[in-house]
């Protein structure tokens, strides 16, 4: 029996960070797609149908806060697990993420092993 790898959409306007996340997740067997900013994410999320999205906050066109809110407001995307992966480490930011329904808040610089563990658990429907 064949099981497809969990799909992850990595959304970050910084190409170096985006590639770092992609390499780490691909090495663990995830099917990884990328978006260069929030608008790109919202344009592609329905075709990709990821189980998990890693989402930066500070991006051009549409920021991560607005993306998270729009994902939660759309019944077709409301169930996608969202990890905020951002340099914004203030407690107010973490609380805002919780209010928006973000599943996990991870600050940069991040531990790749922690990211992989969180993505794995969320993709499997397990709590983190």
Question: What are the sequence ranges of the domains in the chain?
Answer: 5-117
Options 3.40.1710.10, 1.10.238.10, 3.30.56.10, 3.40.50.2300; CATH of 5-117? 3.40.50.2300
* pLDDT at residue 5, as a whole number: 87
Return d(Cα 4, Cα 114) in angstroms, integer: 23
**DSSP structure string for 48-108:** H--SEEEE-SS-SSS-HHHHHHHHHHSTTTTTSEEEEEES---HHHHHHHHHHT-SEEEES
* pLDDT at residue 3, as a whole number: 59
Would the pLDDT of 2 be above 60?
Answer: no
Confidence category of residue 1, pLDDT binned at 50, 70, 90: very low
> If you average pLDDT over residues 117-124, what whole number do you get?
96
| Average predicted confidence (pLDDT) for the chain | 95
Q: Considering Cα of 93, then 120, then 68, then 13, what sign does the dihedral take?
A: positive
Q: Classify residue 127 by its DSSP letter.
A: -
pLDDT per position as a tens digit, 24-78: 999 999 999 999 999 999 999 999 999 999 999 999 999 999 999 999 999 999 9
Would the pLDDT of 81 be above 60?
Answer: yes
What is the pTM assigned to this prediction?
Answer: 0.95
């Amino acid at each position: 029996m064949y099981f497809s790898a969990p799909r992850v959409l990595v959304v970050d306007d910084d190409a170096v960070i985006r590639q770092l996340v992609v390499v780490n997740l691909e090495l663990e067997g995830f099917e990884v797609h990328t978006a260069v900013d929030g608008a790109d994410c919202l344009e592609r999320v329905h075709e990709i149908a990821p189980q998990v999205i890693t989402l930066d906050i500070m991006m051009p066109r549409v920021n991560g806060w607005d993306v998270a809110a729009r994902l939660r407001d759309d019944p077709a995307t409301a169930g996608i697990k969202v990890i905020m992966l951002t340099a914004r480490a203030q407690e107010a930011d973490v609380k805002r993420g919780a209010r928006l329904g973000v599943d996990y808040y991870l600050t940069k610089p991040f531990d790749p092993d922690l990211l992989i563990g969180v993505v794995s658990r969320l993709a499997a429907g397990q709590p983190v």
